[in-house]
Amino acid sequence: MTRSLREVVFVDGVRTPFGKAGPKGMYAQTRADDLVVRCIRELMRRNPQLPADRVDEVAIAATTQIGDQGLTIGRTAALLAGLPKSVPGFAIDRMCAGAMTAVTTTASGIAFGAYDVAIAGGVEHMGHHPMGEGVDPNPRFVSEKIVDSSALVMGSTAENLHDRYPHLTKERADAFAVGSQDKYAAALAAGKIGPELVPVATRSAEQGWGLATADEPPRPGTTVEGLADLKTPFRPHGHVTAGNAAGLNDGATASLLAAEDVAVELGLPIGMRLVGFGFTGVEPEVMGIGPVPATEKALARTGLTIDDIGLFELNEAFAVQVLAFLDHFGIADDDPRVNPWGGAIAVGHPLASSGVRLMTQLSRQFAERPDVRYGLTAMCIGIGMGGSVIWENPAWEGEK
Amino acid sequence: MSEQFPDEVVTQALLRQVRLPGVAKPLALITLDNGHDHTRPSTFGPGGLASLDAALDQALAADVAGIAVTGKPFVFAVGADLSGVPRIGSRDEALEIARQGHRVFAKLRAAPVPTFAFVNGAALGGGLELALHADHRTISAGAFVAFPEVFLGLVPGWGGTQLLPRLIGIDAAVTVIVENALAQNRMTPGPRAAKLGIADALLEPADFLERSLEWAAGVLTGAVTVDRADVDTSAWDDAIARARQVVAARTRGASPAAVRAVDLLELARDATFADGTAAEDDALADLIMTPELRSSLYAFDLTQKRAKRPAGAPDKALARKVTKVGVVGAGLMASQLALLFLRKLQVPVVLTDVDQARVDKGVGWVHGELEKLAGRGRLSPDALNRLQGLVTGSLEKSAFADADLVIEAVFEELSVKQQVFAEVEAVVSDTCVLATNTSALSITDMAAELRHPERVVGMHFFNPVAVLPLLEVVRAGATDDATLATAFAVGKQLGKSCVLVADAPAFVVNRLLTRFLGEVTAAVDAGTPVEVAERALDPLGLPMTPFELLSLVGPPVALHVAERMHEAFPDRFGVGDGLRRMVELGKPSVFSEPGVVDPELAEVFTSSGTGPSAEELRADAERALAEEITLMLDEGVVQAVEDIDLAMLLGAGWPFWLGGISPYLKRVGAL
């Protein structure tokens, strides 16, 4: 048989409002799988041209795949969402880059010709599933010094990154964090945050039903002074605080991917065109540096340079880890191309769900920016990895 | 009022302001939640109504775009808390219950802002009435609604009789409030409710509340308009006439609640809401004080509690696992039993009989019934294959060798049954349960000659086996606890409510029905016209007349039981000449056509007029029932009179308003 590679497009993406994890969070009594179901149903409703039986795969990421995130959540969420029983699904895990990997994996299947249309997303209910729930690390990690014990504590890896790059100071991290909050607040006020949100009915036995329509984590009005005195829980007199890192959050995302010809056939909108991607491993003790080699790899494989990238959606697990990326590529801390609507420090980072948030946001920015041809979504990944995906703007008007 | 409801599980009305995209002001969203999961649905007692009252006041005081009410997961609200009703001692107290509901619900109806009910799950009685007080309703495709009031001996008296007919039309309202309630409290599923117009929008369960809120936002912004058909007042007379026919046919006027409900529905055509609800208050206050309601609540409680935890049943843990069932006999009764065991236990079932033709016929009948079920979509093709593969027939009892339970349904003759059990015992394990479906023979005698009489138990089903929910589990002289526990466990798996009875002639239901029919046939033999005897018991509102019952049981079976009872208790049980003659002539009914006594039976039914009058016959029958019940209790046939009532409710379909039978007999002074 002859085979030709197909272009893969990001059609549409949605997410639940992100919540604060814990008993007081808005999703404390709402199931993780229900968050995913809401996203899938919303995607289908927003794209009625897509016959449900044309969906060839549902890949849903979760870092902790037990309880309400267990039972092969891609499959069960598809069934609960009312997709036809003929639509398969699977669960996928690459820690924080779960949804990103769900996208690259199903996109690869589309490019290869195995799928026409796929749903890819992720969920993390960190209130129900605190990071590291139920893990049983092999003792060889420590006895053979395969990794330092700090490698399994994400905050400690961020402190390690401050050690490696002493010029990335706590003050720079705090300033970046304030910028994230400010940019998010401005985007919210301008109506940029909201159209991609799926309202979620929130259960509370004590207060009755509520409706989540807005993100819970952001702290508008944050100042560098206010951040200066926060505790550094990972190290005495350290650098990493609750203010310059993403919080512990609950939320879900989902996106619709399609072969470009199929999208055209079905009349589906084209938000972005996938150019290429790269994942790489780094030392687990400094996992935050991961996006640097991952992006180098993605650029090398696509023949692009960093200067070709007009918009960056970088996951802000920790401010220092974004700063390390910007520093490496010679980009200013406050470069307007970077996270123009704020990032995870403001909006939150429900681990495995975040990759699709970055993509959804980039795709919406593309629509506003016909002057930009390429954009990049990247994130660091626990146990020492980075992921980077490069996208092309279909609205690009060409060289002027 | 709360002192009458000390056990109220209070449904809290939890108020929360919710921001709706596109709507400037928030929506006041009230969640009804009693703090338990769906197995304990939310109800309205005095405390619950007070909580709702406070939440509505708070919502009305707030600056909101609208007010909406919904329920906890899977439940909207299932109506009034009836737990305290038996403690209500005066009509004034009863009236206050009616008025409190009206007063609170009226606040939702009178709200100056648009109001909504999001019917997310079960909405029964007062729950549905609350929803009807809102301007708009959404309903989940997974929800169901009903007005069980008339079934229980009340009326939907918190606005239901006035609001529903004005919303969906009188004919549909008659169906929901009267007809469905009197048809064993039939529920209306969400899609049907939406079609009837009970709800304005039908939404899928997966995101019901989100979509309901979006729909409500649409109503508030004007993006969604709600169109309802005008109610046709000219349809009232026909529908009310139909309602009265339904009530007459189902209750023969014995349920005051059904009559009052129809009166209120009739009133709803022209009455103002204030007048209509005042009439509801009166009806509720009257009905709460009626003996019929008290009997009904007693009966309801029996079916909800005692039916699920049979009195005197041994420890469940003693029950043995049943992985294969044998049925001796392949006649109609045996085949029905085989089908029931097959469908509910889903284990191999073997039928045996004396010749291949009968065996083939029995297995063929089961296959045919399964195919009918599959044809109606009640069985998937895979389930059909599975069940058809599990039923086999044999001429040899050796086919029972690995069965855990063998039930016999052969000819009602002690020696035949003894022989059958002896043959079965020869091939089965020492612990295999031997059950008999005998109606009237002594099970102790049946077991007497066996090596292991302790494994013999009675499992007396009622015809039609698939429909009637009662199983009399009979402890014979030697029956051990493990055997008895197995019979109870199997009965439960078969979907039956079990009542433990002693090995006394005809057990409970047939003994009472036979005694009762004996009074009727004796009266006819004595010259009371058939037509008079036929209607003499109407004031009780039994599900069928005595002669309809005789036809259902079948005169030969009735004769067999009557003869056996006469043998046991010659003083009290006679065998009527008329009944004998019917069997001799092979007549299935005393009537050759409806209302016309078969001319061939006219000679035995002389209608000379010398027999008791209708009132006398009724009194005789009541006295006879009371006497028999007293004797059964003295003999220890059951644990308590509640078991007799439960058996009559479930095995004979006797109505709630009689409380089975003993509450009625007490109130007419017979017991």
CATH code 3.40.50.720 region(s) in chain B: 316-502
Please give, rounded to a whole number of angstroms, the shortest distance from the CA of B643 to a CA of chain A. 39
CA distances, B83 to each of B32, B88, B271, B613, B616 (Å): 19, 10, 32, 41, 37
ipTM given for this complex: 0.95
Contact (Cβ atoms closer than 8 angstroms) between residue B359 and residue B336: no
- Contact predicate B533/B520, CB 8 Å: yes
- Whether B210 and chain A come into contact, CB under 8 Å, resolves to yes
CB < 8 Å to A214, chain B: 19
Q: Is A39 a catalytic residue?
A: no
Cβ neighbours of A207 in B, within 8 Å:
14, 16
Q: Would you say residue A360 lies in a domain?
A: yes
Determine, yes or no, domain membership for A341: yes
The 10s digit of each residue's pLDDT in B58-71 is 999 999 999 999 99
Catalytic residue among B8, B93, B149, B179: B149
CB distance A379 to A354 below 8 Å = yes
Give the distance from residue B112's alpha carbon to the nearest chain A alpha carbon, in angstroms.
23
Question: Contact A38/B210, CB-based, under 8 Å?
Answer: yes
Residue of A nearest to B35 (CA): A205
pLDDT tens digits for B627-650? Answer: 999 999 999 999 999 999 999 999
> Inter-chain contact A207–B209, Cβ cutoff 8 Å?
no
pLDDT at residue B594, rounded to an integer: 84
Whether residue B149 lies in the annotated active site: yes
The answer to whether the predicted template modeling score (pTM) of the entire model surpasses 0.90 is yes
How big is chain B by its Cα radius of gyration, in Å? 28
pLDDT for B325-364, tens place per residue? 999 988 889 999 999 999 999 999 999 999 999 999 999 9
Would you place residue A398 in the very low, low, confident or very high pLDDT band (cuts 50, 70, 90)? confident
CB B134 within 8 A of CB B115: yes
What is the average pLDDT across A196-225?
97
Q: Roughly what angle, to the nearest 10 degrees, separates helices B555-568 and B546-553?
A: 100
The interface residues of chain B toward chain A in range 54-93, judged by CB-CB distance below 8 A, are 70, 72-73
Per-residue pLDDT reduced to its tens digit, B570-587? 999 988 888 899 999 999
E strand or H helix that includes residue A200: strand A200-202
CB contact under 8 A, A199 and B204: no
Task: Give the three-state DSSP class for A104.
Answer: helix
Give how far A104 is from chain B: nearest CA, Å: 28
- A209/B210 CB distance under 8 A: no
Residues A211, B20: C-beta atoms closer than 8 Å: yes
The span from the CA of B527 to the CA of B607, in Å, is 4
Cis peptide before B464 (omega within 30 of 0): yes
Instruction: Determine, for residues B20 and A205 on separate chains, whether the beta-carbon distance falls below 8 Å.
Output: no
Residues from chain A contacting residue B18 (CB–CB below 8 Å): 209-211
How far is residue A56 from each of residues A78, A84, A240, measured CA to CA in Å? 11, 11, 43
List the single residue in B19, B70, B206 with the smallest CB-CB distance to A37.
B206
pLDDT (tens digit, 9 = 90+) per residue, A211-226? 999 999 999 999 999 9
Domain with CATH 1.10.1040.50 in chain B: 509-636
Among chain A, residues having any CB pair with chain B shorter than 8 Å are 37-38, 41, 80-82, 198-201, 203-211, 213-214
The pLDDT-based confidence of A399 (bands split at 50, 70, 90) is confident
Whether the CB-CB separation of A65 and A91 falls below 8 Å is answered with yes
Of all residues in chain A, the one with the smallest CA distance to B21 is A213
For the segment A118-138, what is each residue's pLDDT rounded down to a tens digit? 999 999 999 999 998 999 999
Rounded CA gap, B70 and B108, in Å? Answer: 13
- The mean pLDDT value for B236-245 works out to 98
**Residue B577: what pLDDT?**
85
CATH 3.90.226.10 residue ranges for chain B: 2-289
For position A3, what pLDDT does the model report?
83
Residues of chain B with pLDDT > 70, as a percent, come to 100
Please, which residues bridge with residue A251 across strands? A124
Give me the helix-helix angle, B273-288 and B160-168, nearest 10°: 130
Instruction: Kindly list the residues from chain A whose CB atom is less than 8 angstroms away from the CB atom of residue B19.
Output: 211, 213-214
Taking the alpha carbons at both ends of chain B, their separation in whole angstroms is 33
Do B33 and A208 count as a contact with CB atoms less than 8 A apart?
Answer: yes
**What are the chain B neighbours of A85 within 8 Å (beta carbons)?**
none
Cα–Cα distance, A373 to A310 (Å, whole number): 7
Asked if B40 has any chain A CB less than 8 Å from its own CB, the reply is: no
Give dist(CA B414, CA A247) in Å, integer: 80
Residues of chain B with Cβ-Cβ distance to A81 below 8 Å are 206
Quick one: tokens of B150?
Answer: 């008339």
* Residue A370, phi-psi category: left (phi > 0), alpha (psi -120 to 50), beta (remainder): alpha
CA distance to partner chain A, nearest, from residue B207 (Å)? 7
- The CATH number given to whatever domain includes residue A28 is 3.40.47.10
Given a contact cutoff of 8 angstroms between Cβ atoms, the answer to whether A394 and A366 are in contact is: yes
Please say whether the dihedral angle defined by the alpha carbons of residues B328, B333, B335 and B339, taken in this order, is positive or negative: negative
Architecture per CATH, B509-636: Orthogonal Bundle (1.10)
Residue B76 has pLDDT above 80, yes or no: yes
Give the largest CA-CA distance in chain A.
Answer: 65
Select from A211, A213, A215, A216 the residue whose CB has the most chain B CBs within 10 Å, as the one to mutate to test that interface. A211
The pLDDT value recorded for residue A373 is: 98
A201 and B213 within 8 Å at the Cβ level: the answer is yes
B206 touches chain A (CB under 8 A): yes
Q: B204 vs A82: CB contact, 8 Å cut-off?
A: yes
| Chain B residues with beta carbon closer than 8 angstroms to that of A209 | 16, 18, 29, 31, 70, 209
Number of domains, chain A: 1
Which of B122, B241, B263, B126 shows the shortest CA–CA distance to B193?
Answer: B122
- Please indicate, yes or no, if residue A174 is contained in any of the structural domains: no
Cβ contacts (< 8 Å) between B30 and chain A: which residues? 208
For B345-414, give the DSSP string.
H-S-EEEE-SSHHHHHHHHHHHHHHHHHHHHTTSS-HHHHHHHHHHEEEES-GGGGTT-SEEEE---S-H
- In chain B, whose CA is at the least distance from the CA of A201? B210
* pLDDT tens per residue, range A280-318: 999 999 999 999 999 999 999 999 999 999 999 999 999
Q: How far apart are CA B115 and CA B131, in angstroms?
A: 10
**DSSP state letter for A151:** G
Q: How far apart are CA A40 and CA A119, in angstroms?
A: 8
Contact: B30, A208; criterion CB under 8 Å: yes
- In this prediction, residue B4 carries a pLDDT of 85
Structure tokens at B41: 């649905």
For residue B206, give the chain A residue with the closest CA.
A81
Instruction: Tell me which residue range forms the domain holding A254.
Output: 8-128+247-391
- Does B292 qualify as catalytic in the annotation? no
Whether B21 and A200 lie within 8 Å, measured CB to CB: no
Determine which of B36, B140, B209, B212 to mutate to test the interface with A (most A C-beta atoms within 10 Å): B209
Whether B19 contacts chain A with CB within 8 A: yes
Query: What number is the average pLDDT over the span A84-111?
Result: 98
Report whether pLDDT(B1) > 70. Answer: no
Question: Which listed residue (A39, A96, A128, A239) is catalytic?
Answer: A96
How big is chain B, counted in residues? 671
Secondary structure of chain B: what % helix, strand, coil (to 5)?
Answer: 50, 15, 35
Q: Which of A125, A162, A239, A380 is catalytic?
A: A380
Which residue, A123, A135, A134, is CA-closest to A249? A123
Instruction: Classify residue A280: in a domain, yes or no.
Output: yes
| Three-state SS at B606 | coil
Say yes or no for a CB contact (<8 Å) between B16 and A208.
Answer: yes
pLDDT digits (tens, 9 = 90+) for A225-234: 999 999 999 9
Tell me how many residue pairs between chain A and chain B have CB atoms under 8 A apart: 55
Q: Which CATH superfamily is domain B316-502 in?
A: NAD(P)-binding Rossmann-like Domain (3.40.50.720)
C-alpha to C-alpha distances, B308 to A163, B32, B122, B657, nearest whole angstrom: 69, 28, 22, 21
Confidence tier at A4 by pLDDT (50, 70, 90): confident
Least confident of A193-207, B496-510, B597-611: B597-611
pLDDT the model gives residue A72: 98
Q: Which CATH superfamily is domain B2-289 in?
A: 2-enoyl-CoA Hydratase; Chain A, domain 1 (3.90.226.10)
Residue range B179-188: average pLDDT?
95
Q: CB A201 to CB B31 under 8 A?
A: no
The per-residue pLDDT of chain A, averaged, comes to: 97
